[in-house]
């Protein structure tokens, strides 16, 4: 007996909520036969649902699913509803219908409700780009107008997260036509159902790559059934769906079609068409002249049926041999350079752009009547001299030689002309590519230092690994600047982008940094001025940078970072990322501050600077790349910077293959350690220098393991430096020396010595010397030989 499942009628509040919803709502209860669900009875539908379904409430409420929508009973919808009721697990589904009882592109959200289900649904065709706008263009109409073909694919993943299929969420009419199906047969179905060939022709793999990486993909596909060639562009939408658009490019292939039709008139039409396709495919894949020549030798010569081939290009009023195969050495020697007035037929073809065919030895000898200047025939008895021409410009001549006499009928001449034309197009592309590549390489070399300076006590080596090809130029750079007196500036950086503009910006920033460093600005001052310059030039770009000032005689380094990754330091058998204070990239803000960090560089230590392309990209986490870099540096078998870089670049460090340019610089400190440990830094006579001096001294005291006395030392240093800045004009020199006690000295150009005063109880000033006198084990002041003074104090060492 068939019965409708019992259920409590919806309460008034629920019905009021559903009635007010702008999307369709249906409540249904199960109809069972011997306990098994066989149908569903509609017990409620709101006004929006009636509007979307195109029926009145009286037609639907009380009706059963099989009677109301018989065309959809066997498309999987009814079993889905049954599953929701029995498992109590919600589900979603997207379907497209164009039936008598229902029409639309529906998205359903289904949940259990009593002994039945509730479903909220929307017709996606009625979603507008600008909701509620008057006359808003409907999304589906816009897509149909904007694309010849368009589809949205939803990735379907297994438990391991791997994509195993795609669900079609939307396709327009032309997109469905390309699959040989209707829209209704495609939407809601899996790719494996509607296009099983996607696995064999590589499309499934391309969809997966785009879904996982977010990179776009372009491919051309030919559809013989509609005599069209389509450009397919694949991208990832923000929702994670894969969007596929189609654009017809048949007109661009008309020339190939015409050539194929021309050859098809002969008995060997099919073979010749295959030959042209093979040559085209091979030549299109060739990027350089060497690849073009290899393709001509491997594919074109056997396709043309010749036993010898020579390619001669125009150069400085001559024909010069660029490639040959199957020719004897004496023939090759004569063909190396031919004046354009030489009687050899190739010269006339290059001058006129008209092909010439010699069918016998007699014709060949008649073309060159003077044996003294004639090019030998070798073992050939027939020749085709073909112009290598593109858009009316003749690049040279292609010579095909045959060991037997040949008549060259019209079909064969058409084929040879087509082959020469394809070769000329490929050759022109390759020549242009190489010219641009050469210019890009020259620009890159010009913007990077041709040779780094030799510096006593410091060995160094650098590598630049370009990732981009053609005319793209990277913005990575490095430099080593000898500043005199054992001081060296070292910089590495990266301009955002890969273009000639990025490279030009890199050149400006590199030169500016070199100039500011040479003027002996502090490291923070160097980057401050470079930042202002980048903003003043209005280049709309940013740069990351790491600048180091090495004091080799002291074994100390002051570093400043502008959004760049910190260097890696190896001492002995350990290597680690340096913990440095960081600033934001150059070109972001005029008020940016670039704090300095000072650390000790022991004798024999290695320091590696690098750009981010070495350790990370969207596939490779930066933490993993940095760990790999530290491990590789730790295992480098040598102190030689060149050997270390070779080891790092051959080790599994960072993303493989790389997806960005890489610059890397390695330093080895060969200078002996100072005895006693000493460090000096010059600071501008500005109020901000007091905090910079404190950071400098604090970093050194930590490196010298004197943290217990750091608080007293920094307090006294602050008093002395502040006093010097207030009463002098010019720079202030701060010196720290680790003897039996810690010696701290501050020198300035003023000859005014500090005077102790007895301040009032309420006075905020005048206590500095009292503090120094109380905390220091000794202090004093002394004149400098060239003018100015030196104020010093001592503190007992920790431990």
d(CA 181, CA 188): 13
Work out the burial of residue 781: count CB atoms within 10 Å of its CB; fewer than 13 is exposed, 13-18 middle, 19 or more buried.
middle
pLDDT over 70, % of the chain? 84
pLDDT at 566 (0 to 100): 97
d(CA 326, CA 304): 13
d(CA 488, CA 552): 8
**Do 495 and 505 contact (CB within 8 A), yes or no?**
yes
Task: Tell me which residue of 548, 571, 543 sits closest to 559, measured CA to CA.
Answer: 548
pLDDT at 440 (0 to 100): 54
Q: What's 195-260 look like in SS3?
A: CHHHCCCCHHHHHHHHHHHCCCEEEEEEEHHHCEEEEEEEEECCCCCEEEEEEECHHHHHHHHHHH
- Interval 426-446 mean pLDDT: 68
pLDDT in tens, 145-194: 444 677 888 899 988 889 999 888 777 777 777 667 777 677 778 888 88
> Is the per-residue pLDDT at 301 higher than 80?
no
Please list, in sequence order, all residues whose beta carbon lies within 8 angstroms of the beta carbon of residue 412, skipping any fewer than 6 positions away. Answer: 266
pLDDT at 179 (0 to 100): 66
Report helix, strand or coil for 416.
helix
Q: How confident is the model at residue 105 (pLDDT cuts 50, 70, 90)?
A: confident
pLDDT in tens, 630-673: 999 999 988 999 999 999 999 999 998 887 888 999 999 999 99
The secondary structure of residue 620, as a DSSP letter, is B
pLDDT at 415 (0 to 100): 81
Task: Tell me which residue of 684, 296, 146, 614 sits closest to 138, measured CA to CA.
Answer: 146
Q: How confident is the model at residue 133 (pLDDT cuts 50, 70, 90)?
A: very low
**Do 694 and 701 contact (CB within 8 A), yes or no?**
no
Tokens found for residue 148: 């010849």
Range with lowest mean pLDDT among 37-51, 290-304, 344-358, 539-553: 290-304
Helix axes 500-518, 523-536, angle to 10 degrees: 140
Q: What is the pTM of this model?
A: 0.52
> Is the per-residue pLDDT at 274 higher than 60?
yes
Give the position of tokens 């306990």: 35
Helix (H) or strand (E) holding 163: strand 163-171
d(CA 346, CA 354): 10
Q: How confident is the model at residue 263 (pLDDT cuts 50, 70, 90)?
A: very low
pLDDT at 2 (0 to 100): 43
pLDDT at 270 (0 to 100): 54
Q: Which residues pair with 318 in a beta bridge?
A: 315, 339
pLDDT at 23 (0 to 100): 82
- Interval 213-219 mean pLDDT: 83
More confident residue, 436 or 539: 539
pLDDT in tens, 763-782: 555 567 788 888 999 999 99
pLDDT at 239 (0 to 100): 66
**Do 208 and 232 contact (CB within 8 A), yes or no?**
no
pLDDT at 210 (0 to 100): 86
d(CA 161, CA 149): 29
Q: How confident is the model at residue 264 (pLDDT cuts 50, 70, 90)?
A: very low
Q: How confident is the model at residue 349 (pLDDT cuts 50, 70, 90)?
A: very high
Sign of CA dihedral 270, 271, 272, 275: positive
More confident residue, 596 or 123: 596
pLDDT in tens, 223-239: 676 677 777 788 887 66
d(CA 57, CA 62): 9
pLDDT at 241 (0 to 100): 82
> Is the per-residue pLDDT at 612 higher than 60?
yes
pLDDT at 444 (0 to 100): 59
pLDDT at 195 (0 to 100): 82
pLDDT in tens, 708-756: 999 999 999 998 998 888 877 788 999 999 999 999 999 998 888 877 6
Q: Which residues pair with 388 in a beta bridge?
A: 396
> Is the per-residue pLDDT at 128 higher than 50?
no
């Amino acid at each position: 007996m068939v019965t409708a499942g019992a259920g409590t009628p919806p309460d008034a509040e629920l019905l009021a909520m559903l009635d007010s919803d702008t999307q369709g709502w249906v409540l249904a209860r199960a109809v069972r036969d011997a306990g098994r669900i066989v149908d569903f009875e509609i017990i409620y539908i709101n006004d929006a649902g009636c509007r979307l379904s195109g029926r009145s409430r009286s037609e639907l409420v009380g009706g059963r699913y099989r009677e109301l929508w018989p065309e959809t009973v066997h498309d999987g919808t009814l079993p889905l509803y049954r599953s929701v009721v029995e498992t109590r697990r919600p589900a979603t589904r997207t379907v497209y219908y164009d039936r008598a009882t229902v029409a639309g592109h529906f998205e359903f959200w289904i949940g259990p409700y009593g002994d039945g289900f509730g479903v909220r649904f929307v017709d996606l065709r009625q979603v507008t780009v600008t909701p509620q706008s008057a006359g808003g263009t409907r999304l589906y109409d816009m897509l149909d107008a904007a694309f010849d073909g368009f589809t949205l694919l939803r990735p379907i993943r297994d438990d391991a997260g791997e994509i195993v299929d795609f669900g079609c969420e939307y396709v327009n009419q032309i997109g469905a036509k390309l699959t040989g199906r209707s829209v209704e047969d495609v939407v809601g179905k899996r790719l494996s159902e509607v296009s099983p060939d996607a696995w064999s022709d590589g499309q499934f793999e391309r969809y997966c790559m785009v879904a996982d990486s977010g990179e776009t993909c372009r491919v051309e596909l030919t559809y013989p059934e509609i005599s069209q060639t389509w450009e397919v562009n694949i991208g990832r939408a923000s929702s994670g769906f894969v969007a596929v658009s189609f654009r017809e490019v048949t007109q661009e292939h008309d020339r190939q079609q015409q050539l194929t039709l021309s050859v098809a008139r002969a008995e060997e039409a099919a073979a010749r068409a295959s030959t042209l396709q093979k040559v085209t495919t091979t030549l299109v894949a060739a990027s350089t002249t060497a690849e073009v020549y290899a393709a001509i030798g491997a594919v074109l010569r056997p396709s043309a049926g010749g036993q010898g081939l020579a390619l001669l290009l125009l150069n400085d009023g001559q024909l010069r041999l660029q490639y040959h195969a199957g020719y004897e050495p004496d023939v090759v020697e004569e063909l190396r350079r031919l004046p354009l007035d030489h009687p050899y037929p190739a010269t006339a073809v290059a001058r006129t752009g008209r092909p010439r065919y010699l069918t016998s030895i007699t014709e060949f000898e008649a073309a060159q009547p003077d044996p003294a200047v004639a090019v030998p025939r070798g073992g050939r008895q027939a020749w085709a001299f073909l112009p290598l021409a593109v858009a009316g410009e003749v690049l040279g001549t292609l010579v095909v030689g045959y060991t037997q006499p040949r008549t060259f009928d019209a079909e064969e001449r058409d084929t040879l002309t087509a082959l020469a034309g394809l070769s000329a197009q490929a050759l022109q592309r390759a020549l242009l590519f190489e010219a641009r590549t050469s210019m890009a390489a020259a620009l890159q070399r010009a913007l990077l230092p041709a040779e780094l300076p030799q510096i006593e006590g410091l060995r160094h080596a650098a590598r630049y690994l370009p990732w981009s090809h053609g005319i793209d130029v990277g913005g990575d750079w490095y430099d080593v600047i000898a500043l005199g007196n054992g001081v060296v500036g070292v910089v590495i950086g990266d301009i955002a982008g890969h273009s000639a503009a990025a490279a030009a910006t890199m050149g400006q920033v590199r030169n500016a940094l070199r100039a500011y460093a040479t003027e002996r600005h502090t490291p923070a001052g160097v980057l401050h001025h470079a930042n202002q310059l980048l903003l003043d030039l209005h280049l709309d770009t940013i740069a990351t940078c790491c600048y180091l000032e090495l004091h080799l005689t002291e074994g100390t380094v002051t570093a400043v970072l502008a959004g760049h990754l910190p260097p890696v330091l190896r001492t002995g058998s350990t290597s680690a990322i340096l913990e440095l204070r960081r600033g934001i990239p150059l070109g972001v803000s005029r008020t940016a501050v670039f704090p300095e960090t000072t650390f000790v560089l022991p004798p024999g230590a290695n320091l590696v600077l690098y750009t981010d392309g070495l350790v990370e990209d969207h596939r490779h986490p930066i933490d993993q790349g940095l760990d790999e870099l530290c491990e590789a540096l730790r295992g480098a078998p040598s102190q030689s910077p060149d050997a270390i870089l070779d080891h790092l670049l051959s080790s599994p460090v960072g993303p493989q293959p790389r997806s960005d340019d890489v610059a890397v610089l390695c330093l080895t400190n060969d200078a002996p350690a100072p005895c006693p440990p000493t460090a000096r830094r010059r600071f501008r006579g500005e109020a901000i220098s007091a905090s910079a001096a404190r950071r400098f001294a604090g970093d050194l005291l930590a490196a010298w393991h004197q943290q217990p006395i750091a608080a007293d030392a920094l307090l006294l240093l602050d008093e002395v430096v502040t006093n010097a800045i207030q009463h002098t004009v010019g720079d202030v020199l701060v010196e720290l020396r680790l003897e039996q006690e810690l010696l701290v000295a501050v020198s300035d150009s003023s000859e005014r010595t500090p005077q102790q005063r007895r301040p009032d109880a309420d006075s905020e000033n005048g206590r500095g010397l009292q503090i120094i006198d109380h905390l220091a084990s000794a202090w004093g002041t002394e004149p400098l030989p060239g003018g100015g003074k030196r104020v010093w104090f001592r503190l007992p060492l920790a431990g």
